[in-house]
Amino acid sequence: MLSAIHQRKPVQLFIGLGIGIVFGFLLQKGGATQYDVIIGQLLFTDFTVVKIMLSAVITGMVGVHLLRSLGLAQLHPKPGSWGSSAIGGLIFGVGFGTLGYCPGTVAGAVGQGSLDALFGGVVGILIGAGLFAVFYPRLSQGILRKGDFGELTLPQLFRVQPWLIVPPVAIALTALLLLLEKVGL
Amino acid sequence: MGWLTAARWSPYAVGVGIGLLSCIAFVFSDKPIGCSTAFARTSGMIERLFRGNKVLDKSYYKKFVPSVDWEWMVVVGIVIGAFISSQLSGQFQFQWLPSKWVASFGLTPVARWLVALIGGVFMGLGARWGGGCTSGHGISGTLQLAVSGWLAAMSFFVGGIATATIVYKLLGT
């Protein structure tokens, strides 16, 4: 039944829109669509972003692995390499620290009326993504392949079943959140 | 219904909500939530308006066809959802200058626009270089325990913390 829904494109576009609306609503209510909050995280004065991300990861990690064990969901880990994930991540980070939004929160910032997000952020990201398409033929033969590890997951890396990794990671991330609260951040 | 009009929710409530939303996306759409391919596709769509169908021959746009897809609708939804949230709380406001920016760099909108534009270019380039953003890698990738997600998420924050520190501590007043 679920795979029948997955294959119906108009239904999927509608579900995507609905998921986006809830996502944008949550991001705005959390303060993550505000430049001040994101930059505050990168300068260690406001830990809202880390609190949102870690509680999302804990919930989603346990939930998605449960759904997978029940046969209701499949994982889709992205492939990666050191040249792609780490170098691309650092370039993204330079943008993160100057723009003060990310591709999801910049859309949320537009929705709340932030003009720097619309005319600076969105336009810049479109230009940057277009530049990548120009460089892609050369990059894909070179640096993007360096240190390729494919669609590897942590359970595969450590050669254990996922349920040996999920609880310790959930406990460690929860402990980190408790520690943040305890020191008053 | 006071919670709908509240200015802020607990970050934990928001995070748990996003985690549950990810589960819904996996079950009903068989997809992890992400945002940055929507920008790549849109960039291709805009280029196609000017250069015509030869844009579709670019190898990157063969991989990410410039058309509306599920993730593109997610990004449109984010704009709408944040609009609704900010309208309900009365926070919606056309604003060029965030207050933290003003405190260090003053009241010139052009300066903020230029920095945001340059930052956006790095972000768009880096997101597609690394194959994802704070949503696709930072939340969806890490929650699937993907090595690419954890490596990219750590790199986002290392780069972001270093850059924000340089911008504010060295260049700001």
Q: Which residues of chain A have pLDDT under 50?
A: none
Q: Flag if A152 and B120 touch (Cβ within 8 Å).
A: no
> Alpha carbon A155 to chain centroid distance?
20
Residues A50/A41, Cβ–Cβ less than 8 Å: yes
Give the mean model confidence (pLDDT) for residues B119-143: 98
In the prediction, which pLDDT does B172 show?
Answer: 86
Which tokens in the block code for residue A6?
């997955």
Spell out the residues 6+ positions from residue A101 whose beta carbon is closer than 8 angstroms to its own. Answer: A33, A35, A38, A109, A117, A121
Q: Is residue B77 pLDDT above 90, yes or no?
A: yes
Task: Specify the amino acid at residue B74.
Answer: V
In the prediction, which pLDDT does B121 show?
Answer: 98
Give the separation between CA B130 and CA B139, rounded to whole angstroms. Answer: 15
| A110: chain B residues, CB-CB within 8 Å | 79, 82
Residue-wise pLDDT tens digits, B4-20: 999 999 999 999 999 99
Residues B109/A138, Cβ–Cβ less than 8 Å: no
In the prediction, which pLDDT does A1 show?
Answer: 76
DSSP letters of A32-86?
TT-HHHHHHHHTTS--HHHHHHHHHHHHHHHHHHHHHHTTS----PPPEEIIIII
Which tokens in the block code for residue B129?
């270089």
Q: Which of A25, A115, A66, A94 is nearest to B143 (CA)?
A: A66
Q: Which of B57, B81, B51, B28 is nearest to A2 (CA)?
A: B28
Residues A107/B144, Cβ–Cβ less than 8 Å: no
Give the separation between CA A149 and CA A157, rounded to whole angstroms. Answer: 10
Q: Flag if B92 and A112 touch (Cβ within 8 Å).
A: yes
Q: Is residue B74 pLDDT above 80, yes or no?
A: yes
| B107: chain A residues, CB-CB within 8 Å | none
pTM tops 0.80, yes or no? yes
Question: What radius of gyration do chain A's Cα atoms show?
Answer: 19
Average pLDDT of chain B?
97
Q: Which of A88, A86, A92 is nearest to A124 (CA)?
A: A92
Q: Is residue B173 pLDDT above 80, yes or no?
A: no
CB nearest B22 (choices: A29, A54, A60): A60
Q: Which of A12, A72, A91, A54 is nearest to A171 (CA)?
A: A54
